[in-house]
A and B are shown apart, each in its own frame.
Chain A
Amino acid sequence: MPGIEVPVGEIKHQLARMWENTAKSGGAAPAANSVRATQMNFVLHFGFATACQDAVTQFETVKEFAHRYPCRVVVLCPLKDDGGADEIRATVYRECFLGKSKSDTRCVECVMLSYSMKSRLFLENQVSICLSTDLPLYYWAHLFSDSSRLADYQFMLKHAKRVMFDPGLVPEGGDVVSVAATGSDPRFGERTFTAGAAVSGPVSVGISAESTGERMAGDSYVSSCSLRSGGAGTVGLVEITVGRLWGSERFGGSRATVRSGGK
């Protein structure tokens, strides 16, 4: 993956320096403040099963996404052979997308955090400081060999406005949302994920969300699912909107269904 390796504590400064340096060297970097666009935060989280080439491909997908929806991108990579290390490493990267006119140029910043197994429990804190405060978080978990591992990342699951799973995540016959919500605290998650809006069936075949009944304030629920096609016949991304109720609200059996196999 492209970028410059930096200590995690230096991420912010290094990003700022990258802008300054490009400007100094007469590069095409326009005034950072007018083009550094952030509409949302996007976390791409690779599972252990992700191969290098695949990671690069997915990163390209995120860049495409960022081109369309400028966002702060954070890529999370587990270190496969970490030798028992206890640290998180960072790589920073930024890219500008030229538009039709100069004023159309948009630049996005990416931070990649590589973490050892030991340090995964602290990952969410390190991620939280890479995000742009108050903007929605999109979370895409890619190719987790075992979906129950997602339980270690409750922060992402609970706070994400949209959680995206791709086909690799969901075991045959698995229930993606209930699996992902394992261990979440009862106030925000568990009950509703499983009882209120079960999402069943392997994603590669189809995914549906249904919500009926009355919910209490504070409950999380799946309010919608949607599909972005990754090309003919394949599912690129499945989006699931996870909501939290702010007042008591009645749902009359809203239903969203997504099927694989094309647009």
Chain B
Amino acid sequence: MAETSRHPFLQGLSKHRGAPPTAVVIFGASGDLTARKLIPAVYNLAADNLLPPDFHLSGYGRKEISNDAFRDLAAEAIKEFSRRELSDDVWDRIAAKTTYVAGGYDDPAAFDRLAAHLAQIDKEVGRDVQPLFYMSTPPSVFAPILRNLGASGLAEKHLGTSLHAKVIIEKPFGRDLESALKLNGTIREVLQEHQVYRIDHYLGKETVQDLLVQRFSNAIFEPLWNRNYIDNVQITVSEEVGVGTRGGYYEQSGALRDMIQNHTMQLVALTAMEPPVSLDAEAIRDEKMKLLRAIQPLDLGPNGDVARAQYAAGMIAGKPEPGYLEEAGIAAESSTETYAGIRLSINNWRWQGVPFYLRSGKRMARRVTEIAVQFKRPPGTLFAGGAFDLAANTLSFQIQPDEGLSLVLNGKVPGLETRTQPVKMNFSYSTTFGSNTPEAYERLVLDAMIGDGTLFIRGDEAETSWKLYTPLLEAWAEAGREGMGSYAAGSWGPANADELLVAREHVWRKP
């Protein structure tokens, strides 16, 4: 939204102040995501006075839930999951405008009821209210919801004005190239691209956004950010948890689909893209797309660019844990990977020859998301101890937990001798800014409300990423369990993933 188009009273204020009157409709509102993330996000936005005075929240789902029962569910969710305590002052403001509409996702009559409900809200408010639809259902019902939004006219509501209908689509966005193309096709039948907000909640994290700020607001990095100075980049998205009670879901997914194809690729794009011409959503997405297109197809052969594995029995937090195949809901012969390691080559002037190593796994030593940029070593060493005592300079962005940034330098050990030792410079978010930073979903819901798509994925980005990984998914599906490695629960991953790094004498970090 250009600054000049804003209400004069809002000139100069943050774009996040002054969101227009909005009615958020959550499809699948009785679900887990709504309780854990969406309702707390709305609540915290209200507590920060970032919601417009005419803000309405409606749940939608097949279950028959009364307005009061839905409000009770929401209040419970805030008590349990919000970063702030429930305060009656704030909650009463939202609760008064919180409602629930029961209906099927493929039931046109129910969507007509929803349309009437939203029209009633417009009437009560006395002006147009922007509809924001949040698809928080399993992906199997994304398509019927979209079609019914189209058929009921809701998709076109207020189109042509800044209050046009907007749709947030949860992950997963497809399960391969074909399904992603199909979903994009369905979307394009009823919506224009600027109405669509494909969520990757990693982009809502403060530290991911900080990556852009660090790269493009500090002059010291840009001259070094290329093949001449950077030796390799490692991106780790590891989880300590196993599949828990979601074994059935995970069997259909696996680490590549669940983490690498989406979150990790977004981190690659933001780390490696060229500077955008502006912070405009399209300018950033164009640069991400250019980068994604420069990634070379993966070598799927032996000693190639990929490794997969399942966790075996091991130990987490000092307690024994079973292997993946022993978990509830997992087939004895399952060939779903709980770990994926990938070596990417980016064929452009900036990155040619610099390997990007990606890994993601469940039941790893600890939960961490990190981007580590390792610089080349100095050409010679003047100091005692030789190269061994010098660490490679490494800049690591800790996305979660312990959000922050650290830089490894070499320093002199105090004393008469000149001995070197790696030392760390740390910047910790919680130390510097306090720990009560907004959750990713707060930022994303608000961004969608104000029509800023920067932190959402464009259709072509999703397709390009699937294009890279679909041949691999097909090869793995065909191979069954052949080539499946194994790693102890609680470890840093399988030996076959170490092999990806051996050719260049790199080793995985233990962040």
Contact = CB atoms under 8 A, between A and B. Distances in A.
Interface of A: 7-10, 33, 39-40, 86-90, 113, 119, 121-122, 125-126, 128-129, 131-136, 161, 187, 217-218, 223, 241, 243-247, 249
Interface string B276-309: 0000000000000000000000000000000000
A7 to B, nearest CB: 6
Nearest to A217: B505
28 contacts: A9-B316, A10-B317, A39-B421, A86-B320, A87-B315, A87-B319, A119-B318, A121-B488, A122-B315, A122-B490, A125-B488, A125-B492, A126-B490, A129-B365, A133-B509, A133-B510, A134-B394, A134-B408, A134-B424, A134-B509, A135-B422, A136-B422, A161-B388, A223-B386, A243-B386, A245-B387, A246-B377, A246-B387
A135 B510 CA distance: 11
A125 B314 CA distance: 10
A247 B366 CA distance: 32
Interface string B452-477: 00000000000000000000000000
A39 B421 CA distance: 9
Contacts of B365: 125-126, 128-129
A126 B509 contact: no
A207 B101 CA distance: 80
Contacts of A245: 387-388
B152 interface: no
A218 B492 contact: no
A9 B424 contact: no
Given A86-B320, A128-B492, A133 B511 contact: yes
B318 A126 contact: yes
A122 B317 contact: no
Given A7-B318, A132-B424, A243-B388, 11 more contacts: A8-B317, A33-B428, A33-B431, A88-B315, A88-B318, A119-B318, A122-B491, A125-B365, A126-B490, A136-B391, A245-B387
A129 B505 contact: no
B262 to A, nearest CB: 26
Contacts of B315: 87-88, 119, 122, 125-126
Contact of A7 (B317, B391, B509): B317
Contact of A135 (B424, B490, B505): B424
| Nearest 10 interchain pairs by C-beta | A9-B317, A8-B318, A243-B388, A122-B315, A88-B318, A8-B317, A128-B510, A246-B387, A125-B490, A134-B408
B406 A134 contact: yes
A246 B391 CA distance: 11
Contacts, number: 92
Nearest to A88: B318
Interface string B409-425: 00000000000011110
Interface in B365-408: 365-366, 377, 385-389, 391, 394, 396, 406, 408
A127 B46 CA distance: 43
B318 A9 contact: yes
B388 A244 contact: yes
A113 B315 CA distance: 14
A134 B396 CA distance: 10
Contacts of A133: 396, 406, 509-511
B96 interface: no
Interface of B: 314-320, 365-366, 377, 385-389, 391, 394, 396, 406, 408, 421-424, 428, 431, 488, 490-492, 502, 505, 509-511
Nearest to A69: B413
A210 to B, nearest CB: 17
Nearest to A246: B387
A246 B505 contact: yes
Contacts of B386: 223, 243, 249
B387 A247 contact: yes
A242 to B, nearest CB: 8
Nearest to B428: A33
A135 B391 CA distance: 9
A245 B391 CA distance: 12
Q: Which of A87, A121, A241, A246 has the most CB of B within 10 A?
A: A246
Contacts of A243: 386, 388
Contacts of A136: 391, 421-422
Contacts of A88: 315, 318
Given A122-B315, A246-B505, A40 B421 contact: yes
A223 B318 contact: no
A90 B511 CA distance: 20
B240 to A, nearest CB: 8
Q: Which residue, of B314, B316, B388, B488, has the highest number of chain A Cβ atoms within 10 A?
A: B388
B383 to A, nearest CB: 13
A122 B316 CA distance: 9
A187 B505 CA distance: 10
